[in-house]
A and B are shown apart, each in its own frame.
Chain A
């Protein structure tokens, strides 16, 4: 039985407490702390996490912008020209339309029918010959914001459309050289 504890002086009491606390951590304690701190340390990225986050955000913005950007189609100009099928006419394509696809939606989008009379909503591409493309461009340039029906030649049939609203630039044929007129076109 330990004696003298109840009669200890302050110095003796301090010594007893000091002896009770004379404990050392295990020999590898400091090494374990160093290892744990090294594992806890963030990866050494220059500038921290911010540059990779910014790059990721930029890539997302580019991908989003590419997804939302409208496709370039033939005849698209600053004016809104809607090519729609005639409500009473059969949905027949113009002969010059090689592969026309449209979007079957209630809105008057560029939905050109296919040869079978059905609209395929996959693509927005309209493939026409260059000469037809040029004709369309001239038409759209001269029309402005008005909308027009464009039907195929077969659908037009015997109907004659008056071209009063379309200004077609007259073809100016300059007269032949009077000197060679009598000789004919071919010399």
Chain B
């Protein structure tokens, strides 16, 4: 009895340490993915890092639900996307109130000037014009070269749905780019 009682607290701390180590591994592996998902929506480095940080904190609080890495990573992707969309809405409301931001383009700091060039700006406009579900599939496809199976796993949808979304996203983007090119000329 005494031996069991003495060992019990150690086993609890052992589980907690193991869980923290696992989360640390997830943090190191997923931080570029989470940041890029947030950046694809917000196009602002500081806002994207804020959203990514918030996503990781929420993920850590729900760490005990971690059953397998794949499920947790998918949950993290969807959570980050949702937080980024919410932050984008809040930014637009603030922009409409303050009249300081452009209509749809997020503010671009000087630190982002190297990243955004004219071509990328047009591409971003085309991505922004996509419906949300198509946009997320397109972004995930571009980030880290996720294949159809991986995107289906992250979005928790069938692979056929992912293929359909990617097809429609590319078609819409080509149309948007064509229109944008025409409008510039």
Chain A positions within 8 Å of B, measured between CB atoms, are 1-2, 5-6, 8, 10, 13-14, 16-21, 23-26, 29-30, 32-34, 36-37, 40-41, 46
Question: 10 shortest A-B CB distances, which residue pairs?
Answer: A17-B142, A25-B35, A2-B119, A6-B178, A20-B120, A18-B142, A5-B177, A33-B56, A37-B60, A21-B142
Question: Per DSSP, are chain A's interface residues mostly helix, strand or loop, or mixed?
Answer: helix
For chain B residues 38-70, which have a beta carbon within 8 Å of chain A? Answer: 39-40, 45, 48-49, 52-53, 56-57, 60-61
Partner of A33, one of B53, B122, B185: B53
The residue in chain A whose Cβ has the minimal distance to the Cβ of B167 is A10
CB of B181 within 8 A of CB of A21, answer no
Chain B positions within 8 Å of A, measured between CB atoms, are 9, 23-24, 27-28, 31-32, 35-36, 39-40, 45, 48-49, 52-53, 56-57, 60-61, 115-116, 118-120, 122-124, 127, 138-139, 141-143, 145, 170, 173-174, 177-178, 180-181, 184-185
CB of B138 within 8 A of CB of A17, answer yes
CB of A23 within 8 A of CB of B123, answer no
A174 to chain B, nearest CB (A): 67
- How far apart sit A13 and B143, CA to CA, in the bound complex (Å)? 13
- How far apart sit A41 and B124, CA to CA, in the bound complex (Å)? 38
A106 to chain B, nearest CB (A): 59
